[in-house]
């Protein structure tokens, strides 16, 4: 894959997508990067201010469920590959409103697959549909030292993970039925700059800043495997260029944290950086009713990715958390903008 490429990245104005777009735009000036995003509450063009004027970058506001528009975009930009991140991504929202998850994550993915199949046409030379999935499709683990490997059966529990699992099945079906060249990756929990402050880490940083309660679900004993978002973007770059078509790769940090222990690290770090005595904000911890169907433990085995393609996480967790907390505290305006919703009105006017 050394030639020029026209790559459609969906969901590029979101958290992970913006890091992927930035990496590809900066690292590959010979590629045209087309960022397609509907700019839902989670999409924010502020995330890409630093690269928005680069000659190899284009933003298109569109909905992945809109087939005619998607086909037009494939034609207009001569798209040869897709990195598909656009999704509804928050588990709590999926419990409240599962329909939008089925629509965006399942029908939206199917719409993109069908457009790619029709535009590219078999035998699909130099095309790739790279689908970004999650470890949540595997279900949950006990505290028994086991890990999710690529051959684990799917057992989603939340409407979010059920919708992601369904989209993964469609992606595989398009390979098995039509020969569409696909790759799927399943990644663990990401953290870092530009994450919407409804997810645990930015929500808690923001709440500590405002001296608001920190809602810990259940007893805070659930375990997640945390990966710095730039390491995920780096894995996507390697897999996009060197991954084996039709294969699946797990991406994870080998970095498991019990929620309550992670929360204490966040509190300690935020307090220190805000100049408060460390531990002041421990009093904000508030145990609340558990999330329905709350998966107990996620832990990814990414040995395959290390052995086959040489990827490993580059950042130690302590360093990643320090960097992340600093970023949110230095970008309080960003936090205020995304929580106020004003930025959407502003950018909608700009890109009309």
Q: Are 165 and 94 in contact (CB under 8 A)?
A: no
What's the rounded Cα separation, in Å, for the pair 96 and 85?
Answer: 22
Query: What would the DSSP string read from start to end of 238-254?
Result: HHHHHPPTT-EEEE--S
Q: Does 189 bind ligand DAU (CB under 6 A)?
A: yes
Identified binder of ligand NAD from the candidate list 32, 35, 81, 104, rule CB under 6 A: 104
Instruction: Point out which span in 9-17, 175-183, 295-303, 337-345 binds ligand NAD (CB under 6 A).
Output: 9-17
Q: Does 184 bind ligand NAD (CB under 6 A)?
A: no
Q: Which among 160, 194, 328, 343 is annotated as catalytic?
A: 160
Q: Which is nearer to ligand DAU, 110 or 132 (CB)?
A: 132
Identified binder of ligand NAD from the candidate list 9, 13, 267, 325, rule CB under 6 A: 13
Radius of gyration of the chain (CA): 20
Q: Does 256 bind ligand DAU (CB under 6 A)?
A: no
- We find the least distance from the C-beta atom of residue 210 to ligand DAU, in angstroms, to be 14
Active site residue 57: no
Count of all residues that appear for the chain in the document:
352
Q: Which among 63, 80, 135, 295 is annotated as catalytic?
A: 135
Q: Which is nearer to ligand NAD, 100 or 245 (CB)?
A: 100
**Residue 139 has which token pair?**
């279900």
Q: Which is nearer to ligand NAD, 108 or 320 (CB)?
A: 108
Instruction: Point out which span in 69-77, 78-86, 196-204, 267-275 binds ligand DAU (CB under 6 A).
Output: 196-204
What's the rounded Cα separation, in Å, for the pair 84 and 45?
Answer: 18
Q: Does 136 bind ligand DAU (CB under 6 A)?
A: yes
Whether the link from the prior residue into 350 is cis, omega within 30° of 0, is no
What's the rounded Cα separation, in Å, for the pair 147 and 158?
Answer: 20
Nearest one of 229, 159, 198 to 17, comparing CA atoms: 229
Give me the sign of the Cα torsion angle 151, 155, 161, 164. positive
What's the rounded Cα separation, in Å, for the pair 149 and 166?
Answer: 19
Q: Does 200 bind ligand DAU (CB under 6 A)?
A: yes
* The entry of ligand NAD, ligand DAU, none that residue 207 binds, CB within 5 to 8 Å by partner kind: none
- We find the least distance from the C-beta atom of residue 332 to ligand NAD, in angstroms, to be 19
Nearest one of 249, 252, 118 to 183, comparing CA atoms: 249
Q: Are 51 and 26 in contact (CB under 8 A)?
A: yes
**Residue 325 has which token pair?**
């907390």
Q: Which is nearer to ligand NAD, 51 or 281 (CB)?
A: 51
Q: Does 98 bind ligand DAU (CB under 6 A)?
A: no
Q: Does 217 bind ligand DAU (CB under 6 A)?
A: yes
Active site residue 136: yes
Instruction: Point out which span in 29-37, 42-50, 214-222, 239-247 binds ligand DAU (CB under 6 A).
Output: 214-222
Q: Are 346 and 269 in contact (CB under 8 A)?
A: no
Per CB under 6 A, which of residues 68..97 are in contact with ligand NAD? 85-89
Query: From residue 230, how far is each of 22, 44, 93 by CA, in Å?
Result: 10, 18, 25
Nearest one of 283, 276, 254, 267 to 321, comparing CA atoms: 267
Residues that bind ligand DAU (CB under 6 A): 89-91, 134-136, 188-189, 199-200, 203, 215-217, 222, 224, 259, 291, 298
Residues that bind ligand NAD (CB under 6 A): 10-11, 13-17, 37-40, 42-43, 63-65, 85-89, 104, 108, 132, 134, 164, 187, 189-190, 196
Task: Give catalytic residue positions.
Answer: 135-136, 160
């Amino acid at each position: 894959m050394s030639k020029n490429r026209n790559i459609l990245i969906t969901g590029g104005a979101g958290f992970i997508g913006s890091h992927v777009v930035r990496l590809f735009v900066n690292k590959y000036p010979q590629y045209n990067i087309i960022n397609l995003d509907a700019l839902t509450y989670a999409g924010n063009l502020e995330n890409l201010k630093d690269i928005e004027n680069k000659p190899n970058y284009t933003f298109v506001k569109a909905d992945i469920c809109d087939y005619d528009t998607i086909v037009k975009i494939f034609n207009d930009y001569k798209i040869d590959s897709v990195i598909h991140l656009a999704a509804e991504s928050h588990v709590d929202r999926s419990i409240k409103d599962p329909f939008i998850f089925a629509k965006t994550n399942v029908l939206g993915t199917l719409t993109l697959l069908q457009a790619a199949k029709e535009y590219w046409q078999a035998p699909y030379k130099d095309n790739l549909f790279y689908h970004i999935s999650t470890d949540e499709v595997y279900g949950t683990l006990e505290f028994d030292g086991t890990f999710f490997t690529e051959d684990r059966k799917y057992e989603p529990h939340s409407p979010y993970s059920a919708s992601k699992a369904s989209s993964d099945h469609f992606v595989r079906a398009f390979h098995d039925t039509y020969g569409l060249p696909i790759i799927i990756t399943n990644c663990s929990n990401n953290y870092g700059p530009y994450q919407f402050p409804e997810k645990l880490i930015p929500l808690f940083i923001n709440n500590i800043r405002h001296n608001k309660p920190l809602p810990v679900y259940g007893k805070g004993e659930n375990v997640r495997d945390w990966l710095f978002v730039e390491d995920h973007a780096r894995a996507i770059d390697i897999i996009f260029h060197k991954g084996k078509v039709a294969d699946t790769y797990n991406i994870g940090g080998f970095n498991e944290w019990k929620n309550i222990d992670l929360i204490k690290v966040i509190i300690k770090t935020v307090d220190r950086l805000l100049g408060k005595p460390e531990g002041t904000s421990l009093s904000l911890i508030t145990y609340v009713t558990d999330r329905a169907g709350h998966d107990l433990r996620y832990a990814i085995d990414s040995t395959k990715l290390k052995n086959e393609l040489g990827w490993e996480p580059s950042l130690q967790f302590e360093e990643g958390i320090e960097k992340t907390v600093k970023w949110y505290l230095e970008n309080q305006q960003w936090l205020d903008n995304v929580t106020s919703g004003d930025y959407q009105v502003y950018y909608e006017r700009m890109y009309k």
